[in-house]
Structure 1
Amino acid sequence: MGVFRFFEEVVFPQGVGMMCLFFVFWSNFFAAQKVVTEETINKQFDTALHYVTSDNPEKAIPILNEINNNCKKIGYKSGIARVGNALAIIYFNSSDYNKVINLSDDFLKAADEVQDYGRMSQIYRLKGCAYSELGLLKKGDQEYSLALHYAEKINPGNPKYYALSVIYGNLASHLIRSGTPWNSVYANINKSIAEAKKISETQEDYISKKYSLIAYSYIILANEYFKSGDQERAGEYYLKALKIHESKPVPLVEKVVLVSELGSFYNSRKEYDKAVEYAEYGLALEKKASFPQLRKGLFETLSKSYLELHETEKSRKYLEMFTALNDSISNIDRKTLSNTVSKQEQEYNDSISRRTYAYALLSLILIACGTAYFLYYKKKKQGQIQKIENLLKQLKEQKDEPARFADTGSNQDSLINKEEDIAIMPPEAEEKLLEKLHDFEKQRLYLERKVSLPYVASKIETNTKYLSYIIKKHKEKDFNKYINDLRIDYIIRKISEDPAYRQYKINVLAEETGFSSHSKFATVFKANVGISPSEFIRYVNKKGN
């Protein structure tokens, strides 16, 4: 039976007409599936951009790659430029700076062909920011220069003024990192403000952007004046930024950050009433949207300020709130343990006679094991003493060397084949970060109570991803252990070398080393040294006598 006859008699017994309709339908269907137009691509962009601004922006990447392929098929250059811009934003916001730097030049070429100078400027700016984050400052200079060149080519209007304002603001931060003279930094901040002020408020979506940029510039100025010791000027610019936040539609999180900075600023100036005023205001704002990290900083400012104002109850209250927020997981664990203990007590009351027999048997076992335990304890103590002797000997021999606990990361060979230590940044950037981390250790900034991964990252001018990577690779430990080891090593040296430290109470030693509580300090100390701080002090005193 021929193919045509098969379809006529078996598939479509009603006749040839039905068969023709079948072929027409499926031909149109498959043709429709293959048609790619600018309109269908723009619909794909709507889906991709929804993910770009969501909590999972990486979901947009495969969609954008598909859009890019479709754009290439029909020669849609504007679409290609748009894809490049979106990918640069996603990679930068996820701190994947290598991908920003290595973004294909095809995106820039396509944007240039259609004279999309706005997206060209944006991509070059993000490349400059990426190089700056990696500490490759000369490369960053080149990208910022290109970003400005193409931003100037944008037609006059809000997009141009906004692009220039953002570039000058980013460039000011970049110059600060480069150690450029203050007058150059100041000039770029003023340029950023001047461009932002040109933005017309006739377009509603640009109003928030305009005032956010101006306030951001004032905060940079305030921070730099504060660092230079000009606290009066710093205060003026902080308040200028606050005035904008009070009267203009600027994102809430930016306002909470500013008020938190003000609280910390006045605390450092010993104007504790003002520090309390702004920190309390920050907490009221923070309740409208949850920012736990900011809340923790506000609790700390309030605790310190109230302590200086001799309002010990309030100071203790905020210290407890700070500790509770910091150790929330531990609190849940303690609650679970408490419930378990209560249940066991109830079971005990229900079966007391059975327990009496069990305790009698247990006492016999304990008597039998007493001697063995004593011998084990004596041996363990001897091991602890030997460990302390070795430690004190090391401290004496290596007075000027890096911290003992912090210097365990020299064995690079053991890491070279680990999959998780594949290089994610250029070697020269690693070296720069290691130098800055060494300076952080020399300045003993790890003793500050506010130390956290974001705090240290800001101090050495990088991001949390790269800081974690550097510590893991070169110190062979996570961030918390790295900081704890530095702190314990510091206090061991102090106790060993300065008799005054042997007179301090444990809570004073805990505060000196930046721990949130004496119990946390004692736990970490014992984990590192093998005995409690009190036992260690007794041993050093006994040895000294």
Structure 2
Amino acid sequence: MKKKLVLLYLVACALVNAQDLDAYNKLYNKTYLETASKDFKKALYIADSLYKISGTPTLQAKSLMLSANLCRDAKDFNRALSYAEKAETIIENTDNLNWQARISLFLAGQYRGVELYSQSKKYAQKTLKTAKMIKDTLIAHKIQGLILQEMAYYEMDQKKYKKSNQYIQQSQLHFNVIKEKDFFTTDNEQMLGSNYYNLKNINASLYHYKKALNLVKDFPENETTSYIYIGLANVYLEKKNLSKAKQYLDLAKKVSEKTENLEQKKEIYTTEKQYYLQTENIEKLKVTDQRKDTLEKKIESKTRQFIDESYTKLDKKIIKTEKKSIQKNYLIFITGLLLILILTLYIRSKIQQRKNIEKFKQILRKSNIKNSTDSPIASEKIDISVHQAGNNEAVVLMSSETEGKLLAKLNKFEKTNLFNNKNISLPFLAGRFETNTKYLSYVINTHKEKDFNNYINELRINYIIEKLKNDPQYRNFKLASLADEVGFSSHSKFSKIFKKVTSLSPSLFIKYLQEEIQEKED
């Protein structure tokens, strides 16, 4: 292996030293399109070697971008960004507008991939600005087509598939006039196939996937090829053509096994799950579930429990029964019992889902009602003279006028965002209101009908609900960011309080909210 790598390094040196750009480009393209799909480490070694012996800034930047693309496909975002930013620094000192635009375009896509949308937008605008200055019309068309394609990917991430299709059509107008038309059209057709699949237009999806498949045959197998196979497998699953679905699923797996594209592998597992569900192969469904769960942990770097404990126990019972070779009638009984239990669990999950959706709608209705009042927590005009002191010494010493003033200050406080302050406390707020904690605690307990902590927590949760409803950016934030926004010390505490107030987890609430917004847009 080492001898082969040394030989590759010497070949690369010879190419660059001889300034044979055609040979350089051939090796560059072969590394990305062919070598990477078979041996990722070898491809990365070639890319690094090309950089080390490149004699011009343009070739250095181009070699770095080869490494960046390889790392991006392997979901190594940090290394991909590092390579691309280094390439950007080099190319900025040249007048090569083509590669300046291509690198900023890559960075736009990379930042989108890690959900840093402001940075992504900045680089997208930079790409468009640079593309307009490119004098070579064919290169300008290519760059503009690519940035429009990137914008289409962004809309796909936001589940705005119709808008994504519009960008794809615009990008195709640019690709139609360039030499590499078929290469870029393949990606566009694959994207259209995916969008129409998500829009439930299965026939249109099949049409575009077939067009992509016909185009991709002229190129070495790569990740686009695998995505086309995955898409076709999904389409045929929808059409209940299981043999065709299996055919394309196997082709996708064959291509994917040679790459480090983890996101693609996850999509294959998702499609494979649907196949085993339709074929009712519970054993293989379980294996695929476990592989997909492990892969998601690797990609997202956090623990997720995928298989329900009770389901696992039932599955173990089946395995144990098979090993002991119990009589046929007993196996039928156990299988029937399992099916009944699965059906029961399915019905219960559907009932729970309906309950959750109703809770979600209640939250929205409650939120809309609150928006029509003067404060986040509705406060009716209360005749404070009717409240009885009971054994509360603070009430005996507090006049009705003081009580009314404190209630008015609370209502004014609710219109601010001060409750999101991490250091908010009863003594702190009492100090701002120029009163003591007993008075303030009494007014909150009496008029808000909750203690101080629950009062503040409900204000915070209502605030974040409004942000999620009205600001799309918030729906893309991590839970930790949302928790920090409203003053919670951790995302786990935020999730606990959110569920306490709304009866839904924040993740489930955001999911329902996105689905409702998507339905309105469609």
The TM tier, using the shorter chain, reads 0.3 to 0.5
- Relative contact order: is structure 1 or structure 2 higher (C-alpha 8 Å, sep ≥ 6)? 2
